[in-house]
Each structure stands twice: as C-alpha cells, then as structure tokens.
Amino acid sequence: MGAEAVSSDFTFGMPSGGSSSSTITAGGTATFGLLLTPAGSFSGMVNFTCAITPAASPTPICSVPGSVNVTGTSATWVTVSVTTTASGSAVSGPFGDLPLRGWFVGWTLALGVSSLLFLGRRRRFVYAPAAVLVLFMVGCGGGSSTSPTPTPASKGTPAGTYTATVTATSGSLSHQAALTVVVQ
C-alpha cells in the first residue's frame, strides 16, 4: 500500500461557536473573527476581498486585511469589520447655524438698518452709521463671494440586512465566508 497524497488547501470561515450575524445601528461597526486553517501541506500568501450586497447609498464599508502569510499548521485569525454611516445634519447659512427664528431676526435687522438710509432730512448723519454697519456686515461675512445655501441633512446607511461576502484566495484556491449585518 502506497502513501496517499494529502492535497494542499486551506479552510476559511466562522469558527465553531462563532456568530456570522450582527445587529447594529447606523454609524456602528460590526466586527467578526474568521479562521483560516491550512490543510495538508498548504503554506503561502492568502489574499482577501470583501463585497457588500445589496447596494446602498451610502454603502457599508467592509475592511479586511489585504493578505496574510500562512505557514506551518496553525490557524490564523482574520478580522473583518463592517462600518456603517450615521445620519447627520449639516445646515448652514448666512447667519450660521441659527434656527429659522434667528434667520428672520437677522434679515429683519439688516433690512431695518438699511432702510435708515432713506429716512430723515439730515442724510449725512444717517449715512455714517449705515456705512459703518454695512462695512461691519461685509467684514464679518467671510471670504466667500457666493451666498451660502443650506445643505440637506447627510444620509446615513439605510436600515436593512446586508451580506458581506469575504473571499480568501491563494493561487487557484478560493473560499468564501458570508457575514450578515442588520442595520437598524
């Protein structure tokens, strides 16, 4: 009887007792530990890629190591992180981040003071304070030549179930692990 040849390969996936699913809120990160174990006489560089489905905007971001070098017979841990985007708001305008009431007061004040230019018989006394106010308003306006416009609130990762498919490849060998991330 001859000795059987042991094929050179590796296994890749969730270790026994591990969870391939995680529930997080938008803006959170799900972290998974996968196990890469050489089989037979396997040794060499294993490269990783990760794809997220379904497509979303903004899509969750999957982070994996670019590659690991496997030698010997010991298993190697591979950490996978899936990061989502939190919802936020970035609204700014000519009066900063004032609420609508602040905008109204600011514009009313600016229009009221500028109307002083047209009042009174002693125009020279009216022009001086109005000119100072206009210079003050221009000087505090910043360096932009266009008027700022409010920007809409930034979108976070939409709620739903996403699959992160991690592929481990070495030469002609390829194995995949599917991870589930539920965004609430």
State the angle between helix axes of 100-115 and 123-139 in degrees (0 to 180), rounded to the nearest 10.
150
pLDDT at residue 155, as a whole number: 87
User: Residue 163: is its pLDDT beyond 70?
Assistant: yes
> Tens digits of per-residue pLDDT, 115-130?
555 555 555 555 555 5
- Comma-separated ranges of CATH 2.60.40.3170 domains in the chain: 9-86+156-179
- CA 123 from centre of chain: 57
Q: Whole-number mean pLDDT of the chain?
A: 79
C-alpha radius of gyration, the chain, whole number: 31
Classify the C-alpha dihedral 13-18-21-26 as positive or negative: negative
More reliable by pLDDT, 7 or 171 = 171
User: Residue 48: is its pLDDT beyond 70?
Assistant: yes
Q: Are 65 and 48 in contact (CB under 8 A)?
A: yes
pLDDT at residue 72, as a whole number: 86
Can you tell me the distance from the alpha carbon of 151 to that of 91, in angstroms, rounded to the nearest whole number? 5
- The yes/no answer on whether domain 9-86+156-179 falls in CATH 2.60.40.3170 is yes
